Amino acid sequence: MIVIKSLHKFFLKITSYEITKRQRFILMSFFLTIVLFATQTVSENIRYQVMGLMVVSTVLLAIFALWGELAGIKYFLLLLLPIYFVAGASLFYFLLPVRWLTKVPYAFFFGISVYLLMLTSNIYNVAAIRTIALLRAAHAVGLLFSLIATFFLGNVLFSLHLPFYLIAGGVVAIVAPLYLVGLWSLELEDYISKRVFMYSLIFTLVTTQIGLVLSFWPIVSINGALVLATVMYVLLGLAQFNFENRLKTRIIWEHLSIAAIVFVIVLISTRWGG
């Protein structure tokens, strides 16, 4: 009887929007993790439909979790990173070995990541209205999950062995929205500024050109994804310092040196022979 009363109170809180944001984030991450697990039990013919359900659920649950302060452009931008991460993580999940030893830790990582992403989106949401001390940490987390989403989606894209023009289109679809939300989070205005738009356009063009070059290489999918993520790290990292007026020559060389190391690793690990 006590359990029934407790459940009744809990569902009343949900329907009356009285649960806290953290509780909403936990519910969202738990639900999506369960759906991710379900993709291993359903037929392969409907796995992509289940993934579509995850994306739609992410949109609806994110709106519910952030409800109360969403307005204007934030309705669009604050949902991009969770959507892209969930889509990338669920697609990458299909590529993992069919072993519980691999699937369970990955699902745990997925659930924690969704929770952290929603915390980050909430910080952006609040910081757009008033100053908040956790904004710098949110930028770091946002950048990290932008890179992870790019890596997951890039790995899937290159594993399909598509023609070069489809690879280029796929790179645009992956990185353009992530650049947009990453750069917007550095300003947190109620609109997309001209500077954010131009930077996003240029960064997308640069990354797409690199992806186009990689489409002609005998490169394994994980290396292609690593290159895309590295390019995003360099460009968004330098942009953040530039937006904060802290960009120095030393910082530029540090980022470029990381890019050079990744390039050498990819170059060495590529099989150029037949």
123-129 long-range contacts (CB < 8 A, ≥24 apart) are 124/74, 124/78, 124/185, 124/188, 125/66, 125/69, 125/70, 125/74, 125/78, 126/69, 127/188, 128/74, 128/188, 128/189, 128/190, 129/69
| Cα angle value 67/121/158 (rounded, 5°) | 125
Mean local confidence (pLDDT), 182-191? 89
Q: How confident is the model at residue 219 (pLDDT cuts 50, 70, 90)?
A: confident
Tell me whether residue 214 is in a domain: yes
Averaged pLDDT score across all residues of the chain: 85
Which one is predicted more confidently, 16 or 216? Answer: 216
At a CB cut-off of 8 Å and minimum separation 6, what does 142 contact? 81, 120, 124, 181, 182, 185
Which one is predicted more confidently, 109 or 104? Answer: 109
- Check pLDDT > 90 for residue 145: yes
Tell me whether residue 274 is in a domain: no
Name the packing angle between helices 135-159 and 74-95 (round to 10°).
50
Can you read off the two tokens belonging to residue 149? 């989403």
Q: How confident is the model at residue 189 (pLDDT cuts 50, 70, 90)?
A: confident
Tell me whether residue 237 is in a domain: yes
pTM, rounded to two decimals: 0.88
How much of the chain is in helix, strand and coil states, percent to nearest 5?
A: 80, 0, 20
Can you read off the two tokens belonging to residue 223? 């290396």
Q: What's the rounded Cα separation, in Å, for the pair 207 and 229?
A: 9
Closest-CA residue to 127 (of 181, 179, 185, 62): 185
Tell me whether residue 162 is in a domain: yes
Per-residue pLDDT tens for 241-274?
A: 999 888 899 999 999 999 999 999 988 887 776 5
Boundaries of domain holding 81 = 2-269
Domain count for the chain = 1
Q: What pLDDT, on a 0 to 100 scale, did the predictor assign at position 105?
A: 86
Per-residue pLDDT tens for 151-169?
A: 999 999 999 889 999 999 9
Which one is predicted more confidently, 229 or 217? Answer: 229
